[in-house]
Amino acid sequence: MDKKKVYIIRHGETDFNKKNIVQGSGVDSDLNDTGRAQAHSFFKSYREVPFDKIYISQLKRTRQTVQHFIDGGIPFEELPGLNEISWGIHEGLEHNKEFDNEYWKRVKEWREGHLHIRITGGESPLELAARQEPAIEYIFSQTQEKTILICMHGRALKSFLCLIQNMGLQHMDDHDHSNTGLYLFEYDSEKFNLLKTNDRSHLDGLGVLEDLT
């Protein structure tokens, strides 16, 4: 049976990450100098991988993260299902006590299985998953693509990893992520075999501490 290699990374750092400002799907920020360095380091480490296709969200920080590969001629496609979760009324604002209190309350509720609950004005995990599922079906129906790269966002990545591994969304926060951290899977059309988890070895020597929020 043919196998597919699936490389999944989070985008590089933005100033919003650095300044602890809530991004989400409604903030279309650029990579900062650190993010561009992370993207370049990832490219240097993986430029020999024969990617057939790159999938990114509609937010430019994902395209900027994989731009070196695109410039080399690898085809890419933007999918709205890969966009970050909406953080509602908090997007574009600095982390503050109000947001942190609501965020950790929601995380606790989500862990307890209350996946219909939203951040105020934002999306619930079930709503996020509902738009990710068609994207997942589309990506993995492309049987001619044997090696693919997916670049997306923190919370969306947590949900995506649960969905492809048939884990309940209440386990989202079991998955760590960092800027350009790599999850590598081998997919045989039935199951995903995890080979690397949030791997950051390409950042060795860069002197960068990635924001985890």
> CA angle 22-69-5, nearest 5°?
90
Position 213 scores a pLDDT of 34
Cα separation of 57 and 182, whole Å? 16
Main-chain dihedrals φ then ψ at residue 122, nearest 5 degrees: -110, -155
Instruction: Give the number of other CB atoms < 10 A from CB of residue 187.
Output: 17
Question: Mind listing the pLDDT tens digit for each residue in 116-141?
Answer: 999 999 999 999 999 999 999 999 99
The SS3 call for residue 92 is coil
Is the CB of residue 172 less than 8 Å from the CB of residue 125?
yes
**Residue 1's pLDDT band (cuts 50, 70, 90):** low
Q: Which residues pair with 137 in a beta bridge?
A: none
Residue 186: partners with Cβ closer than 8 Å, 6 or more residues away: 3, 4, 5, 6, 192, 193, 195
Helix H or strand E encompassing 149 = strand 147-152
Is the pLDDT score of 207 beyond 70? no
Percentage of the chain beyond pLDDT 70 is 96
Question: Mind listing the pLDDT tens digit for each residue in 41-69?
Answer: 999 999 999 999 999 999 999 999 999 99
Residue 162: partners with Cβ closer than 8 Å, 6 or more residues away: 168, 169, 171, 172, 175
**Residue 211's pLDDT band (cuts 50, 70, 90):** very low
What mean pLDDT comes out for the span 194-210?
Answer: 83
What mean pLDDT comes out for the span 3-31?
Answer: 95
For each of the domains in the chain, give its residue range(s) and CATH number, in order of start.
4-203 (3.40.50.1240)
Summary count for the chain: helices (H), strands (E): 7, 6
What mean pLDDT comes out for the span 176-198?
Answer: 96
Is the pLDDT score of 210 beyond 80? no
Is the pLDDT score of 212 beyond 90? no
